[in-house]
Amino acid sequence: MTNEKIAKAFDTPNKKAFIAFITAGDPDADSSVKNILEIARAGADLIEIGIPFSDPTAEGVVIQEANIRALKGGITTDGVFEIVRRVREQSDVPLCFMTYANPVFHYGYDRFFTKCEELSVAGIIIPDMPYEEKGEMEPIANAHGVSVISMIAPTSESRIKKIAAEANGFIYVVSSMGVTGVRNEISTDLDTILGHIREVTDTPAAIGFGISTPEQAAKMAGVSDGAIVGSAIVRIVAKYGAEAAPHLYEYVRSMKEAVAGV
């Protein structure tokens, strides 16, 4: 399946994308709409919107706490769709969802992806739905024009080619072991991983987990097709609450410039 909306995100002058993640409903729906629009205005090529889950096992403390704040604030899956609807009134920025298997399964795959299609959400990232399990969901997502984004980890080794060959939209390369969160250093041999990916597909591959500074973003975009930043953005929301928008703008702009300058 070719996904034109995602392809557009990587179709920048240097073919590198800056991808921003933000937890929906943190701290409330109004702030989320404002923050997403501001991140888009600052130049993010694609925005991942996190649908909060009570038990986000792939997340570090920063995004765990954002999930808790959002759920305490009363956000629901329908509330997240409403946030996206309001964003879509003002922006056609490429969007993906990131969440866990259960909220999507429980909502009903067909019902969920029908909404995604209506709101022009191009992809979905589900860390607890690996290659072996995606079959129950992917055909339904694809029928609604939504790509199921494949993840490749430092431990994927012999699995890389099999996953990459079937990948859709873009490939999410996990930079480090463990959970999401800001890291001082990324020591994984990403060149080798990207090399294996390139042998089997030209689907763009972006690197996430642990990236927070413009230098790191430039370095990661240098060895791949893009950099994904989550915890550093969520940390700004945690710090400034409902007043986060201008700070997000400034930060995303600096990150986008770093990636654009590669």
Partner 1 sequence: MSKGRYGIHGGQYISETLMNELIRLEEAYEHYKKDPEFNAELQKLLNEYAGRPSLLYYAEKMTKDLGGAKIYLKREDLNHTGSHKINNVLGQALLAKRMGKTRLIAETGAGQHGVATATAAALLGMECEIFMGKEDTIRQALNVYRMELLGAKVNAVTTGTQTLKDAVNDAMREWSNRVEDTHYCLGSVMGPHPFPMIVRDFQSVISKEAREQILEAEGKLPAAVVACVGGGSNAMGAFYNFIEDKDVELIGCEAGGKGVDTPETAATISTGTLGIFHGMKSYFCQDEYGQIAPVYSISAGLDYPGIGPEHAYLHDIGRAQYVPITDEEAVQAFEYLSRTEGVIPAIESAHAVAQVIKIAKNYSPDQSIIVCISGRGDKDVAAIARYRGVDLHD
Given the complex with partner 1, which of 15 and 72 has the nearer CB atom?
72
Smallest gap from residue 261 Cβ to partner 1 (A): 30
Residues paired with 152 in a beta bridge: 173
Using the rule CB under 8 A, is 261 a contact of partner 1?
no
Smallest gap from residue 192 Cβ to partner 1 (A): 15
- Which of 19, 37, 122, 174: binder of partner 1 (CB under 8 A)? 174
Q: How far is CA 30 from CA 79, 83, 121, in A?
A: 11, 8, 19
Q: Which stretch binds partner 1 (CB under 8 A): 75-83, 188-196, 232-240, 243-251?
A: 75-83
235 contacts 219 by C-beta, under 8 angstroms: no
State which of positions 102-131 bind partner 1 (CB under 8 A). Answer: 102-107, 127-131
- Cα separation, 106 vs 23, in Å, equals 19
Given the complex with partner 1, which of 14 and 102 has the nearer CB atom?
102
Given the complex with partner 1, which of 128 and 257 has the nearer CB atom?
128
| CA angle, 87 then 151 then 233, to 5° | 45
Q: How far is CA 165 from CA 1, 98, 145, 189, 208, in A?
A: 12, 22, 19, 20, 20
Using the rule CB under 8 A, is 178 a contact of partner 1?
yes
Q: How many residues does the chain have?
A: 262
Using the rule CB under 8 A, is 77 a contact of partner 1?
yes
Q: Which residues bind partner 1 (CB under 8 A)?
A: 53-55, 57-58, 60, 64, 68, 71, 76-78, 100-107, 127-133, 135-136, 151-159, 163, 174, 177-179
